[in-house]
Every structure is written in C-alpha cells, then in structure tokens.
Amino acid sequence: MGRDFVYVILGGGVAAGYAALEFVRRGVGRGELCIISEESVPPYERPALSKGYLLPEAPARLPTFYTCVGANDEQLPPIWYKEHGIDLVLGTRVKSANVQLKQLTTTTGETITYKILIIATGARALKLENFGISESDAENVCYLWNLTDANRLVGLMQEYRGGNAVVIGGGYIGMECAAALATNRMKVAMVFPDAYCMSRLFTPKIADFYESYYKSKGVIFFKRNALASFDNDLKGKVKAVILKDGTHLPADLVVVGIGIRPNTNLFEDQLQLEKGGIKVNGQMQSSDPSVYAVGDVAAFPVKQFGNEIRRLEHVDAARKTAKHAVAAIMARDAGDLDYLPFIYSRVFTLSWQFYGDNVGRVVHYGDFSSGNFGAYWIDKGVVVGAFLEGGNKGDNEAIAKVVRLKATVNDIAELQRAGLEFALCKSQLVAKRYLRYAIAGVGVALAISIAYFAYGYGKSDV
Ligand SMILES: Cc1cc2nc3c(=O)[nH]c(=O)nc-3n(C[C@H](O)[C@H](O)[C@H](O)COP(=O)(O)OP(=O)(O)OC[C@H]3O[C@@H](n4cnc5c(N)ncnc54)[C@H](O)[C@@H]3O)c2cc1C
C-alpha cells in the first residue's frame, strides 16, 4: 500500500502551516503536496496553548488560531487544504524514513514516497523520566506541548480551581503556565534549579522584575532547588511535591516544563546533525539534496551571527525557515535566509520581545519599577541584542532595526540615558538615509533619461 507525492511535509505544526501557504502561493499543483501529522487537527499556532487557550474567560479555541493568523496572514482551516488539493494526513505517525529510497512508512503500514521532503517534526517536551523521576503519568501531572496536553490542563485547572499548583521549570513554558494558573485562581509555587527565571535569556535584573510581578500575583518561588520526588495517594495521584532541600509543597496539580528535545530520531543515521538538530544550509537543505528541514528541528546558519549554526526553538524561526525552504524549492533562486532571531512572550498583562543574541555587555535602561524598561547587549562596540517590555509596534520595530543594523555604540552612559530613544532615533536615521539614497537614485535615473532623450531627439533631427 503506497502513495506518491512531489512534496511531502513530515509534521503538522507551525512550520508545516506556513510552508503549505507558501507552496500554494507559489503555485503548487493539486495532488502534489502531502502533509503527514501525528496530531488530529491541521497546523495551528502552538504558542496560543500557553496563552489565550488557558484563559478562564473567553479562551481562544480552534478555529481561531489555525496557522497562519500568528503572522497576521491567512487562516487555514481544514477546508483550505482540501480546496487547494493538499493531502492532509492527520492522526498518523511516521515510524521510519528511508532517505535513499525517498520513502516514509507510517505506523499503519502505509508507505509514502516523495521527490522532495520537508522535515518539520519540531520537538517534544522532556519528561521527568529523562531526569530519573517517575510518575509522569500520574493523573494530575501535566506537560504542555499539544492540544491534548492543553485540554488536559484546562480540565484540571477547572477541577482544582482555588487549589495548589506546582510548576516545575523556570523557562518560558513554566513562566507562561504559572501566569495562567494564577489567573485561574490557583495558588502557584514555581520550582527551578537556577538563581533566577528564564536564565538562558534574562539578566538577573530583568528576571527580578518578572519575579516581583509574579509574587504580586501570589506566585511563590523555590529557586536553586529541584524536584526530588512525589508524595502520592493510594490511587497514584500526586498529593505533594518533595524538593531536594526537603520542602514539601502541597499539590493538586503539577505542571512540568523542563525543556524540549528536537525530533530528529528518524534521520539520525541518515542526515548530518549539528547542535542537536538536522543541519541545513541557508536554503534549509540538509546533507541530502532532496531533504529540507525547518522549524525547531533545523540547525541553520544565522547570517546575523556570522553564519554560526543555530537551532532556534521560536515560533518566528519556524514560520520564516518554512517559507524560505519552500521559496528555495519552488523558485530555486531564493538565496540564503537572512534571519534575525526573535522571541516573545506574554504573561498576565505583560509582554516582552527580544531580538538578536544575548552576548557581550548588557546595558539596562528605563524604569524597572513601573515596567517601562529594556536592555541592549553590546558586543565589539555594536548592538547585538535588544529586549523590551511593553513596547508598541513601532518601539519593537525600532529595537529590531538597531539589532539588524548592528548600530554602533560610542558611549555606554549615553546609551543607558537614551534607552529606547536610541533605537527610535537610529531606526529613523536609517530610514531617512534609505529615503535619501532612494531619492538620489530616482534623481540619477531621471537625469540619465533626460540626457538619453535629449541625445536621442538630437540624433533623429540629423
Ligand atoms: C505551549 C507553547 C508555547 C509557546 N510559546 C512560544 C512563544 O511565546 N514564543 C515563541 O517564540 N515560541 C513559542 N513556542 C515555541 C513554538 O511553538 C515552536 O518554536 C514552534 O511550534 C515550532 O514549530 P515546528 O513546526 O518546528 O514544530 P511543532 O509546531 O512542534 O510541530 C511539529 C509537528 O510534527 C509532528 N510530528 C513529529 N514527529 C512526527 C512523526 N514521526 N510523524 C508525524 N508527525 C510528527 C508533531 O505532532 C507536530 O504536529 C511555544 C511552544 C509551546 C509548546
């Protein structure tokens, strides 16, 4: 039993949705494209699961967050795939892949062959078992990676409203879940081994702002600490979380967000890997020319960082690598992706954005007590990263622009004083400079045209 396609996307998450839209815009033929996904619904904006989906009132539900609404683009409901002749194979896991034969085999035994494969298998949440702790399957222990997880969490929050929740992990999933649990009127304790939350990105000063805000919402932090074991009732349900330092935390609900691992397993002995992901070039093409990789699973050269290979677990990277792979496949003249790394989060009424890289010297600015603040990362005299809490569209575009342009910093004290103004001024200056070049260009073109016509008319007169 088998089917044959020109293009196959393996995985049906964020990247798959954006790739599908790009395929259609570039004129893919009916019956040429197939998407295989283990999930039972078409591609959706996964970040919604830890934000709007968990709201106690008017929560976000499908179809409102099918891709590609997250990028303010077309929304792709199930019918869209049908209308465009795309085979959407849902609820189906691919169990093996043979890159040489260009063939995938599903758990139902079906073989699907392709000319071009896009791997968009994303990542999976790490389990407590990966760290030697059992009980992941207790009825009140949750992870949050897909719709099934989110529905389970919503059900448990409703069941235990007003009860105790323990969040294990201080990364963005832990932070967003803790905010959602507190908003759902649960008493929340957060446990993580680092000295402060979001330690891979935040500075201690930035983390301090968010931790203080969370505390004002009733969240209690157990930092430099870790889960040791669970105390269960006779039915196996977790009653309390026991920490390494012996603290007992009562728990009606435990949410675990301790990191993710890219889903490379089907390809590990067939394709080149780097940084834990499938290594691709600037066109998202892997070590096998007929296989591309996009999203969380791809490790790609980031031009902004001197073509250093990075694997970025951010939704924006998933959207843009997916679109770029399709452009490279269909147009064959797409050039290399020029990507500016970007991550964002929204918790309570707060919202932050970060662009670039968090290396070098940090310069904080603004008023941390009122939540009007940001930071720049300066390396070798230029801005390489920028963070902003609560910025509007223009502010966020401005910080993105100074990072993109690697704006020069001559005076750190002045940068700290100017704060966001630095980005706003620089980005306007740059815009003006481009405008000047454009006007100058038009002027030159006009002068050439006048000279040409004057010369041409003169000749015809002869
Ligand atoms: C709760 C949550 C909140 C997030 N919030 C943010 C945020 O605020 N900001 C941000 O920048 N990023 C956020 N992210 C990260 C972002 O969602 C990911 O970077 C993005 O989803 C990656 O897209 P992807 O297509 O590569 O992978 P995914 O969206 O994970 O899709 C992978 C797909 O592949 C399928 N699959 C895997 N293996 C197989 C197989 N063998 N057979 C068939 N199908 C398979 C999976 O079922 C899934 O459908 C969040 C993630 C989560 C889980």
Superfamily of domain 128-258: FAD/NAD(P)-binding domain (3.50.50.60)
- Ligand 1 close to Cβ of residue 143 (< 6 A): no
Tens of pLDDT, residue by residue over 318-334, are 999 999 999 999 987 78
Model pLDDT, residue 462: 24
User: Structural domain boundaries of the chain?
Assistant: 2-122+261-331, 128-258, 349-427
- Ligand 1 close to Cβ of residue 13 (< 6 A): yes
- Ligand 1 close to Cβ of residue 50 (< 6 A): yes
Query: 128-258 with 349-427: one CATH topology?
Result: no
The partner residues of 389 in beta bridges, in order of sequence, read 352
Q: Kindly state the average pLDDT of the residues 284-307.
A: 97
Going across the sheet that includes 308-310, the strands are 273-274, 277-279, 298-302, 308-310
- Ligand 1 close to Cβ of residue 174 (< 6 A): no
Tens of pLDDT, residue by residue over 16-26, are 999 999 999 99
Could you identify the residue written with the tokens 């803790």?
A: 178
Q: Which CATH architecture has domain 2-122+261-331?
A: 3-Layer(bba) Sandwich (3.50)
Q: Kindly state the average pLDDT of the residues 408-434.
A: 86
Res. 448 pLDDT band, cuts 50 70 90? low
From residue 333, how far is each of 26, 96, 329, 433 by CA, in Å?
13, 32, 9, 29
- Ligand 1 close to Cβ of residue 5 (< 6 A): no
CATH 3.30.390.30 given to domain 349-427: yes
How many whole angstroms from 211 Cα to the centroid of ligand 1? 27
Res. 428 pLDDT band, cuts 50 70 90? confident
Q: Are 374 and 420 in contact (CB under 8 A)?
A: yes
Q: Which of 190, 182, 186 is nearest to 216 (CA)?
A: 182
How many whole angstroms from 323 Cα to the centroid of ligand 1? 16
